[in-house]
Structures are given as structure tokens and as C-alpha cells.
Amino acid sequence: MTGSTSPSDQIKRWSVAGGVVVEGDRCLLVQNRRKNGATDWSTPGGVIDHGESVLGGLGREVLEETGIEVGEWHGPLYRVEVDAPGFGFHMVAEAHRALTFSGELLIDDPDGIVIGAEFVTLDRASSLLGSAPVWVAEPLLAHLRDGVTDGRLFAYRLDGSSPVDRKVVRLQ
């Protein structure tokens, strides 16, 4: 054996969870600063650590990023899968809705990615999510606008290998 690796060995596989926290007619979104300095908006959440349950990791992420402590979750509302071999990753995500929560907004993200958080109306969420990847914005807006809560899969393929030639294809 030579010890060589196949391209599939180079793919990072991420398990991710997003928290949909709604207060009245407003939804909690966080502003993220990416490595290239660009910013976008999403629900709070993130990568689930090895050995961590999805809901345990989601609760940890929401608390770290926003100061909000969730007592009870419902879901998954929807699931997202993104296959991006040219970018070296495959991501599987679940979104859950906070049924009970407490706390005040306080950003203390140990990863340094989240730089803002606010509860926003649906119209403002639609506007802010214009900066997010389609696999973040489309499923969340389907939940907020159309009431999607059936755990359906939103599947995408990310073609290309750089931001210049990137193309997102919706599979399901």
C-alpha cells in the first residue's frame, strides 16, 4: 500500500444544526463575519462536535452566539444537505425551533464568527438573508413564510471550485 488518498478522503463532512428562535412576529438572526471579511446573516447554530447530540450542540451554539438559553426544541423543521466536492465539503444540517427560551442578547462567540444578533421581522429577515447562501436562506424562508415544519429535505450541489465559478444547483 502506498498510503495515497482518494479525493473523497479529502472531503470534510460536517454535521450542522440551526436554531429558529421566534419571539412574536420576529425571528432571531445572527450576523457572521467570514474569513474573507464578508458578512452574511443566518440563524444561530453551527457545527456539532464529535460525541455531541444535535440538540445538545445546538443549544450550546445558540447560547454561545446569542446569550439565549433554549429550554425545549421542536423539530427538525427541515433538513439541508450540500454536496460540494470542488470546495472539499459535504454538509448535513437540521433546523429546530425553540419552544421555550430565556436570556438577553449577548454575543460571546468563542469562534469569533458571530458579530451581531437581532430579532427581525419577516420582511427584514428576507432582506438580510439575501447575503446568505441559498441553502441557508431558502429553507428558512420556506419555514417562516410557508410554515414548513415537516422535516423535508432541501438538497443542493455546489459546482465549481472557487467563488468565481461557483454554481448552486437545487436537487430536492
Residue 10: predicted pLDDT: 85
Q: Which three cell numbers stand for residue 141?
A: 424562508
- Express each pLDDT in 55-98 by its tens digit: 999 999 999 999 999 999 999 999 999 999 999 999 999 999 99
Residues in the chain predicted with pLDDT less than 70, given as ranges, are 1-9
Residue 15: predicted pLDDT: 96
Residue 9: predicted pLDDT: 61
Task: Using DSSP, state whether 62 is helix, strand or coil.
Answer: helix
CATH of domain 11-158: 3.90.79.10
**DSSP, residue by residue, 90-142:** EEEEEEEEEEEEE-------TTS-EEEEEEEEHHHHHHHGGGS-HHHHHHHHH
Residue 53: predicted pLDDT: 96
CA distance 29 to 16: 16
Instruction: Tell me, rounded to whole angstroms, the distance of Cα 95 from its chain centroid.
Output: 8
Return all residues near 90 (Cβ < 8 A) that are at least 6 apart.
11, 12, 13, 14, 81, 82, 83, 84
CA distance 108 to 113: 10
CA distance 114 to 32: 4
Residue 117: predicted pLDDT: 97
Residue 89: predicted pLDDT: 96
Q: Order the strands of the 167-170 sheet from edge to edge.
A: 45-47, 12-20, 89-102, 69-84, 152-159, 167-170
Q: Please report, for the chain, the start and end positions of each structural domain, with discontinuous segments joined by +.
A: 11-158
